[in-house]
């Protein structure tokens, strides 16, 4: 199997920049715009996803790739699409511009945590493109509201849609 790492890198960078341009400042949230972008990217690669809203525009996206051994506990790749408010006067660049400069992507969410979201998405789409199946189910969750308590995000999914995110292992921003 030949993998084009440059393609994966380019796609991840494009998605990261597109996500940064989505103003998902929380409050108020509006993570739906990011969830729709992720869903469209997954669909282009033949990966189905579901979006569940806890309230209008407070969207959570979940996608699953079946593993070769479905009896093994799933691995959940979790990220969040909301960002903390950005006082524009304190920024040398527009916080939602996703400018490339000095070898960096500049913008709100570039570190916390739209970059992890883009990496998770790159992994899922690369596996799908390669026709590779992980040894267990792999779940991608891009959730709302992490910056303000998770009531509209992870907590909502666990309490209202546990079948979507039930996993034996979770990788998120803290490991």
Residues identified as active-site: 82, 146
Question: H or E stretch including 130?
Answer: helix 114-130
Pick from 105, 167, 159, 104: nearest CA to 141 = 167
Question: What span, in angstroms and rounded, lies between the C-alpha atoms of 121 and 63?
Answer: 10
CA distances from 82 to 8, 37, 135, 138, 155 (A): 24, 14, 31, 23, 15
Instruction: Indicate the SS3 state at residue 75.
Output: strand
* Residues 6+ positions from 66 with CB-CB distance below 8 Å: 133, 137
Report which of 25, 20, 37 is spatially closest to residue 147, judged by C-alpha positions.
Answer: 25
Q: What is the DSSP letter of 29?
A: -
């Amino acid at each position: 199997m030949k993998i084009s790492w440059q393609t994966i890198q380019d796609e991840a960078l494009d998605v990261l920049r597109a996500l940064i341009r989505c103003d998902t400042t929380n409050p108020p949230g509006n993570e739906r715009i990011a969830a729709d972008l992720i869903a469209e990217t997954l669909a282009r690669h033949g990966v189905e996803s579901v979006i569940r809203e806890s309230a209008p525009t407070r969207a959570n996206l979940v996608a699953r790739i079946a593993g070769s051994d479905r009896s093994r506990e799933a691995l959940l790749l979790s990220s969040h699409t909301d960002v903390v408010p950005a006082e524009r006067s304190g920024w040398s660049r527009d916080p939602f511009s996703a400018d490339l400069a000095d070898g960096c992507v500049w913008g709100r969410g570039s570190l916390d945590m739209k970059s992890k979201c883009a990496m998770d998405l790159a992994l899922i789409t690369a596996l799908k493109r390669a026709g590779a199946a992980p040894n267990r189910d792999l779940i991608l969750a891009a959730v709302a509201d992490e910056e303000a308590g998770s009531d509209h995000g992870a907590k909502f999914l666990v309490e209202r849609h546990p079948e979507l995110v039930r996993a034996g292992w979770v990788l998120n921003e803290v490991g």
